[in-house]
Amino acid sequence: MKLVRDHRQEPAEPSGGTPPGPSLFDDVYVQHFGFVWRCLRGLGVPQAALDDAAQDVFLAVHRQLGRFRGEAGIRTWLYGIARHIASNHRRRDRRKMAPLEPLDPDTVARDPDPLQRAADAQAASFIEQFLAKLDTKKREVFLLAMIEEMTIPEVAAALSIPLNTAYTRFRRVRAEFHRALARVQHAAR
């Protein structure tokens, strides 16, 4: 089942004190599907399982939205659910040991030219390889801070870590990223 939405809108934070209205779930889904999908991908969910994992996240959101108190931001709450679902999917995949991958990777919509597709694929490959080499703690900070552009206080809240720890991990992973990028750029010359 393919779930495709336009996710360019900025999220609206539901208030913690009011019960969810009939369209609250729809609003959360439309505004945050892209964020959840990218988080799942960054957390190591295989390409072939991303749609199922995203559906699992939003099933959990649908069940739990009425209990969301607004003590943390909606993206922080969604990331926690996505992190749990991604862990379950990775564990399931390890048990299955399924070596199958889809023949054709998803392409970017709006038909970019071949040169742009190649550049996008190369950049995505670099990011995926970089993420694969990171330990879980650094990967999560990189994903949330650099890919999803969350502030470090939001990252600390999403990961339930002290603020100074989040800043330290962010500085380290950012330095590693810049070194890796410099190596790739130097090799391309």
Question: Average pLDDT over the chain, rounded to whole?
Answer: 81
In sequence order, what DSSP letters do the residues of 21-61 get, joined into one string? Answer: PTTHHHHHHHHHHHHHHHHHHHTT--GGGHHHHHHHHHHHH
**75, 106, 137 - which closes a domain:** 106
33 versus 23: the higher-pLDDT residue is 33
Q: Count how many domains the chain has.
A: 2
Residue 5 has pLDDT above 80, yes or no: no
- Same domain for 182 and 150: yes
pLDDT of residue 10: 36
pLDDT at 37: 92
86 and 29 together in one domain = yes
Residue 118: the pLDDT is: 83
CATH of the domain at 10: 1.10.1740.10
Which residue range forms the structural domain that includes residue 71?
1-106
The Cα-based distances of 55 to 62, 82, 94, 128 in angstroms read 10, 10, 20, 22
Q: Final residue of a domain: which of 57, 87, 106?
A: 106
**Which pLDDT value is given to residue 8?**
35
User: What is the distance between the alpha carbons of residues 39 and 131, in angstroms, rounded to a whole number?
Assistant: 12
* pLDDT tens digits along 91-150: 776 666 545 555 566 554 566 678 888 888 888 888 888 988 999 999 999 999 998 999
| d(C-alpha 179, C-alpha 133), whole Å | 13
Assessment of whether the complete model's pTM goes beyond 0.75: no
pLDDT band at 170 (very low <50, low <70, confident <90, very high): very high
